[in-house]
Structure 1
Amino acid sequence: MLTFKQIKADDVINIRHTVLKEGQPIEVCHFEGDLDEGTKHFGAFLNNELIGAVTMMFKKTNNYKVYPVYRLTGLSILPEHQHKNIGKRLLHFAEENISRKGSVMIWCFARDYAVNFYKKNGYRLNVQQVVIPYIGSHRIMFKFVAKED
């Protein structure tokens, strides 16, 4: 049975390493902001085994003052469970969780190969390309999530 819930920062490290940072030191899987007060980590569990994770980091900004802003990062589904809509379901679970108290803006650096995944899930593409050392080309994407009443 597939379930989703909020998890601790330490729970996301191994999945990030396996999916996003393979071949790099595990220390690079600890992201700046993981332990911040406004950061939330979410996991996908299959039969109580963690198979996916995503992090939503609350960001204070002077550029966008109308709604709270979150940075989506580290969306990772173990390879043997990819292409089964688990990432989509985990992403929607996280979005619903952070928007319970009100509407939010979410942005992320999407790897080039993930742009279509984010587009299918309502994210818009910013044409700006960002090259992250040791990882490669990314695109900035964003989404407005309205609070559901």
Structure 2
Amino acid sequence: MVTFKQIKVDDVVEMRHRVLKIGQPVETCYFEGDLDEGTKHFGAFLNNELVGAVTMMLKNTNTYKVHPVYRLTGLSVLAEKQNNNIGRRLLHFAEEYISRKGTVMIWCFARDYAVPFYKKNGYQLNVQQVVIPHIGSHRIMFKFVSKED
């Protein structure tokens, strides 16, 4: 059975290193904002083993004044556990958690190969391409998530 809960930054960093930054120094797996007060880290557990992680960072912005804005980053699931809906369920768990007090806007840099995944989960594509050094091409995507009543 897969369960979801909030986790510590060190657990997220380990998952990022195992999935997203293979072969790179572990130091590259710490992201600016990981320790900010508004940042929340979530994990997916299969039989009490961490198999996936995602981070939601509360961002102050002058661009969007209506809703709280979160940046989704580091969504990762162990390769051998992918294609089992764990990533989708983890994403929805994190979205529901951060939207408990109202509507939020979430944006992310999606790797090109992940764009279809985010589209299936309600994210809209911004045509802008961003190339992140040592990682590659990404697209900006966003979604509004409403509080569940």
State the TM-score, normalized to the length of structure 2. Answer: 0.99
What do you get for the CA RMSD once the two structures are aligned? 0.4
Q: CA deviation at 1:147?
A: 1.0
2:4 counterpart of 1:4: yes
Where does 1:1-149 land on structure 2 (aligned, <5 Å)?
Answer: 1-149=1-149
| Deviations 1:28-56 (CA, angstroms, capped at 9, x unpaired) | 00000000000000000001110000000
Q: How many pairs does the alignment contain?
A: 149
User: Which portions of structure 1, spanning 4 or more consecutive aligned residues, are displaced by more than 2 angstroms?
Assistant: none
Which deviates further from its counterpart, 8-17 or 99-108? Answer: 8-17
| Identical pairs, percent | 82
Consecutive unaligned residues of structure 1, counting only runs of 5 or more, are none
- SS of 1:11's partner is helix
Listed as ranges, the gaps of 5+ residues in structure 2 are: none
Mapped to 1, the partners of 2:129 and 2:76 lie a distance apart of: 21
Whole-angstrom distance in 2 between the partners of 1:114 and 1:143? 15
User: What secondary structure, in the 3-state scheme, does the structure 2 residue paired with 1:90 have?
Assistant: helix
TM-superposition CA deviations, 1:1-26 (whole Å, max 9, x none):
21000011111111101110001100
Q: Compute the displacement of 1:148 (Å).
A: 1.5
Normalized against structure 1, the TM-score is what?
0.99
Q: Distance in 1 between matches of 2:15 and 2:148?
A: 31
